[in-house]
A and B are shown apart, each in its own frame.
Chain A
């Protein structure tokens, strides 16, 4: 079973081009190579997305087809340059991307870059909140499961983890909404803030777009409470999905380290069981956890699309779903490319952190 799945893609599995030649090159070289590898990844994704989206036809026909008379349609296609050879369009698109021009959305005629910066912060806020929930729930429970391995708590926690993983995030969101917002009425049903606080927060000078940060800066405690109340349910819905994964990951890795000789040695010296689990066994188990955390960012962004739609959280995911419904593929392409960049950069950072912690990774 050791051969079930190869080590994570970010791992040193001999794919980095010059790794084999440079036996033992330093950390600097590793970072450089790893950094350069970001570009082919993004380039491949951009290329794939561009050509795949064009197989279906040009975006204008997709968005307006059937609603405009044919001659008007052809006119607009020609005006936007979609009647030129696809390769010309592709290189033009690449050139525009390099200068940061993602195009203009078809359905509401906005700059894609402007849309990305407006809604990106909401998604960032949601992802951070969810990651916090996931870590706070997943890591301690994982330690408990590992320590009480094969006993009742472990069984309960493992099933809990599987249920977390197996629940579609929008269903979890729906249940949370029903219970805490509709029936108990404790928390708001949807959105990021009340209209009044939203107005206040967006009219701040140079708002960060991350509402709780803006609320703290403005010193408006009522708005802060309102923002927090809105943030709870989406964060829990998205966080639980990942919490199950962290739980299992921590459990498996801590079980591995708990059986090591130095843990036994610590125990014989009288180190408390609590300390053994949380320090001795947990610390060395961190490396794989950090690596997987990087992969989880991708999962979370995917989950954010669904969570935002469930809670009408006006972020990139919500916009993506809206543009998908409107068949505005220019906007969809822009969001997908941005997410590709985020994922590639996150994986890069995670790899560097892993290399800093564990020298074995870079050789």
Chain B
């Protein structure tokens, strides 16, 4: 089932543009099990994206709707009838809140990951390229934050930003910034390491000889090369962002139910229901979280494996070379996704 692939679409510059696009080229490279995982990840992630985009059409009610033409929604009604997934203790429609929740999740992910890439990349480039005491200080700070439980960092940030309670925009920004602070050290480390490696490359020397300014070297020569791996970290971190958001919501730093739907907050509310055997208020938002995270992780991990010849399929040449350096590399790659809860 794992016959080695003979075609390497990315290696062939003459291959059509479509075949060289990231996900499609990965799909063509994959075989057997890996292809299955990639496809499963793509389907789940696609479903998540579509749900978020079409939430207004899909959701039967608004996220904060408590009544319709027939009067108020009943509280804690079991799934079925007008409310496919039941209602919560506050009378919200569970299905609607699950669907709207995907929108909140995606907004937070996009804002958080973009901000952390932006800040992390700039700091990493500058720190790695300039070096010296600035580099030392930034590295020590980044390491201190990196080693600390990410949820606690996020909690502290959430207190700072919003004091806890928040509106839609305020809540999303608070969650996103909290998550950003957790992620910056990761991007910083990756980019800094790459920058230090690239600094010694001949093409940087040549650029210097030709008289390119430091800013130009950083922004063109090094930046382009150092950020190749970022899309991958993006997918891995997106799943972590969802988990952090849910964790914050669960601890009460979520977004008020009247301003947006958020899965973590709904789970917090549902916790009290479990003892009386009411399962639908918690199980559905929880499942939505799990499926989204699993989808993103499957996708990110498959792409990661496919980019790494040592993990791609089982080729004779690949399996023999798992030296200490390469295991460390693989293990380090795992750590990107390993952190978080």
Interface residues of A (CB under 8 A from B): 1-11, 13, 15, 17, 40-41, 44-45, 48-49, 52-53, 55-56, 62, 149-150, 154-155, 158-159, 162-163, 165-171, 174-175, 177-178, 182-183, 189-190, 241, 245, 248-249, 252-253, 255-261, 285, 288, 292, 295-296, 298-303, 305-306, 309-310, 320-321, 324-325, 327, 329, 332, 336, 339-340, 343-344, 347, 360
Q: Does B79 reach chain A (CB closer than 8 Å)?
A: no
Q: Which residues of A contact B151 (CB under 8 A)?
A: 302-303, 305-306
Q: Would B294 and A5 count as touching, CB distance under 8 A?
A: no
Chain B residues 128-147 with CB under 8 Å of chain A are 136, 139-141, 143-147
Q: Whole-angstrom distance from the CB of B25 to the nearest CB of chain A? A: 15
Contact between chains at A171 and B290 (CB < 8 Å): yes
Q: Is the CB of B275 within 8 A of A182?
A: yes
Contact of B189 among A1, A9, A171, A256 (CB under 8 A): A9
Q: Is the CB of B160 within 8 A of A9?
A: no
Min distance, Cβ B341 to any Cβ of chain A, angstroms: 4
Residue of B with least CB distance to A257: B322
What are 10 A-to-B residue pairs whose CB atoms are below 8 Å? A3-B194, A9-B143, A41-B143, A163-B294, A168-B341, A171-B289, A299-B340, A302-B247, A306-B251, A327-B163
B341 touches A324 (CB 8 A): no
Give chain A residues whose Cβ lies under 8 Å from the Cβ of B67. none
Q: Does B337 contact A (CB under 8 A)?
A: yes
CB distance from B166 to the nearest CB of A (A): 13
CB-CB < 8 A to A332: which residues of B? 155, 159
B229-266: contact bitstring with A at CB < 8 Å (1 yes, 0 no)? Answer: 10011000001000100110011110000000000100
Q: How many residues of B contact A (CB 8 A)?
A: 92
Cβ of B156 and Cβ of A49 under 8 Å apart?
Answer: yes
Partner of A256 from the list B37, B155, B186, B322 (CB cut-off 8 Å) is B322
Are B146 and A9 closer than 8 Å at their CB atoms?
Answer: yes
Q: What is B's interface to A at a CB cutoff of 8 Å?
A: 1-2, 32-33, 36-37, 136, 139-141, 143-152, 155-157, 159-160, 163-164, 186, 189-190, 192-194, 197, 229, 232-233, 239, 243, 246-247, 250-253, 264, 267, 270-271, 274-277, 279, 282-283, 286, 289-290, 293-294, 297-298, 301, 304, 307-308, 313-314, 319-341
Chain B contacts for A339, CB-based, 8 A? 148-149, 152
Which residues in A have their C-beta under 8 angstroms from that of B330? 252-253, 256
Give the complex CA separation of A3 and B329 in angstroms.
7
A288 contact set on B, CB distance < 8 A? 327-328, 331
Q: How far is the CB of B196 from chain A (nearest CB, A)?
A: 9
* Residue contact B229 to A295, C-beta cutoff 8 Å: no
Residue of B247, B308, B319, B333 touching A5 (CB-CB under 8 A): B333
Q: Which residue of chain A has the shortest Cβ distance to B287 in the bound complex?
A: A171
In the bound complex, what is the Cα–Cα distance between A26 and B46 (angstroms)?
54
Min CB–CB distance B331 → chain A (angstroms): 4
> With A6-B190, A292-B338 known to touch, is A168 a contact of B264 (CB < 8 Å)?
yes
Q: A41-B144, A257-B322, A324-B253 are in contact. List 4 more A-B contacts (CB 8 A).
A: A5-B190, A165-B297, A178-B274, A302-B152
Kindly report which residue of chain B lies nearest to residue A241, judged by CB atoms.
Answer: B341
Given A49-B156, A295-B338, verify A6-B144 contact (CB < 8 Å).
no
Q: Are A306 and B341 interface neighbours, CB within 8 A?
A: yes
CB distance from A81 to the nearest CB of B (A): 21
Taking a contact as CB atoms closer than 8 A, the residue among A285, A292, A325, A329 that contacts B252 in the complex is A325
In the docked arrangement, what's the CA distance between A302 and B182, Å? 13
Nearest B residue (CB) for A46: B144
How distant is B252 from chain A, measured CB to nearest CB, in Å? 6
Q: Which residues from B are CB-within-8-Å of A41?
A: 140, 143-144, 147
- A6-B193, A150-B32, A292-B338 given; A168·B144 CB < 8 A: no
Cα A190 to Cα B271 with chains together (Å): 11
Interface centre among A3, A149, A163 (most CB of B within 10 A): A3
Tell me the bound Cα distance from A327 to B252 in angstroms: 11
A320 to B293, CA, bound (A): 26
Q: Is the CB of A162 within 8 A of B341?
A: no
Please report the C-alpha to C-alpha distance between residue A325 and residue B155 in the assembled complex, in whole angstroms.
12
